[in-house]
Structure 1
Amino acid sequence: MHDGQLVGHGQSEGERMNIKDFQVYVRDSLQHIDLMKARHPSLPVFIVGHSMGGAISILTACEKATEVAGVVLIAPMVQMSPDTVTPFKVFMAKMMNHLVPSLPLGSIQSKWVSRDQTKVAAYDLDALNFHGGVRVSFGMQLMAAVARVERELPSIAWPFLLLHGDNDKLCDIRGSRLMFERAPSGDKKLKVYEGAYHALHHDLPEVSESAIEEITSWITERLSAPQQAS
């Protein structure tokens, strides 16, 4: 999953960060998997998702549970920060969603994307990244998606690898810890990177190199293992 290919992101058509239903992302991911399986029917399916793409990956894998060989989640959006979803803020968001759903809220602070300032600068200069404020209606969709993810956790049996920085200010690491604890999968791993920010694959070289190696090794190990018949 890459946000640059998602509806309302990157080069996609239409208004930025404006969708009516989060399921649109899951639907598109399911269709992409079907397309790839039709082209490569003998290859196992692995899903890799980062941030909001992590939530999409989880929901997609839950709908394709018998077809997924493994899921890699980099700082996934599993749980909203308690500071963000206080009862008062949720109440106000619901009110504003009825009155002015297109009202922009605060934008993502790029300084929390990576500790590597060259990567932060590149993020700021990339025209495919959305730099405006998140709309109230989109915020409501994110909250609904996180609620769906949390409901699915007790049913997750597919293999997964979680990677998260413990200084991530954009996606709360408590969500990854919650998933690791609640998911009954017999093949699961959580790797925490001390001091790392949100985009582990774009963090300081020692972190990004370690994360990529971890992902590569994890997938390779499962490629060499006997595949269960679906």
Structure 2
Amino acid sequence: MKHKESNFKSDDDLTIYFQYWLPEDEPVAIIQVVHGFAEHSGRYLNVVNKLVPLGYGLYADDHRGHGKSEGTTNYVDSFEQFIDDQKRFNDIIKKNHPDLPNFMLGHSMGSGIATYFAEKYEQSLNGLILSGTGNKLGEELSGFVKFMSKVLAKLRPKMKIDPKLDPQFLSHDSKVVDAYINDPLVHHEEVTTRLGYVMLKKFENIGKILEKLTLPILIQSGSEDQAVKGVKTIIEDLTMEDKTVKIYDGLYHEVYNEVKDEREKVLDDLAKWLERHK
């Protein structure tokens, strides 16, 4: 397995960090990983270690204001900045691998970014994979963010608020939870009003966006996900012919980081789906 790190410049001249993993031989397809809120690209090694030996290449960046990338922590001027960054990243991937199938895997907030990316650039992708997705944020975060008006998000966009996210509900694996809590690249500080508001609004409309898509889609979520909810509702909105939905009984938010036996089932399902669509 080959691993390299690099960066690119965003439209507004921020340095965006990314890394990628490739098999020793020519890859059979590329997966562009879009990580979730407050985390970073380095938290997807279970996916890397499953797929790269099967011949896939994985590219993952750190969102602006996340991980090793530049930008104000937990803040964006608009949600479209995330999408624009992913388009620049996707262009790099296609330049490096012009003839290979290209899939996008988005987790949590990244599932929202990936969905809106697919709405705008569907022809750039051969398939869409969504993990920890839904049409509303967890009850605590939703209840907290709902009190914010659009006026507050505009007038005090960088004001910090506590989303009250409990890392214990990321995974049943205590080692994963401890690693998350102690990870210096994970942002444990408060979210800005602007990002909180745009996340809430974008997730509310995910079902409407998915209705428009025709590309193959795989959804993988835990039935006990406390961070993002409403996945069963958006499943009803899927109109594309090629759709696969996997709801894993009892699992939490990070299905790729669950206890070993459970995550292996999830990763096996991911690998089988990719094999059918590459």
User: What TM bracket, shorter-length normalisation?
Assistant: 0.7 to 0.9
- Give the aligned partner of residue 217 of structure 1: 272
Q: What CA deviation, in whole Å up to 9, does each residue of 1:118-149 have, x standing for no partner? A: 11000011111110122222111102322442
Match for 1:141: what amino acid? Answer: V
- Give the aligned partner of residue 132 of structure 1: 189
C-alpha distance in 1 between matches for 2:147 and 2:263: 39
Q: Which structure features the higher share of strand residues? A: 2
1:66 and 2:131 are equivalent in the alignment: no
The Cα of 1:208 is off from its aligned counterpart by: 1.0
Q: What CA deviation, in whole Å up to 9, does each residue of 1:152-200 have, x standing for no partner? A: 122011111111111110011x2x2233211211010111111110001
1:167 and 2:200 are equivalent in the alignment: no
RMSD of equivalent CA atoms:
2.0
- Give the aligned partner of residue 112 of structure 1: 169
- Give the aligned partner of residue 208 of structure 2: 151
SS in 2 for 1:49: strand
1:123 and 2:156 are equivalent in the alignment: no
Provide the TM-score with structure 1 as the length reference: 0.88
| Cα distance change of structure 1 residues 99 and 53 upon mapping to structure 2, 3 Å threshold | same
CA contact (8 A) 2:74 2:192 kept: yes
1:183 and 2:216 are equivalent in the alignment: no
Question: How many residues are aligned here?
Answer: 220
- Give the aligned partner of residue 112 of structure 2: 55
C-alpha distance in 2 between matches for 1:98 and 1:58: 25
The Cα of 1:94 is off from its aligned counterpart by: 3.4
Using the aligned pairs only, state the percent identity: 25
C-alpha distance in 1 between matches for 2:252 and 2:135: 16
Provide the TM-score with structure 2 as the length reference: 0.73
The Cα of 1:62 is off from its aligned counterpart by: 1.6
| Cα distance change of structure 1 residues 127 and 187 upon mapping to structure 2, 3 Å threshold | same
C-alpha distance in 2 between matches for 1:108 and 1:80: 11
Structure 1: gaps of 5 or more residues = 224-230
- Give the aligned partner of residue 146 of structure 2: 90
- Give the aligned partner of residue 18 of structure 1: 75
| Cα distance change of structure 1 residues 92 and 32 upon mapping to structure 2, 3 Å threshold | closer
The Cα of 1:24 is off from its aligned counterpart by: 0.8
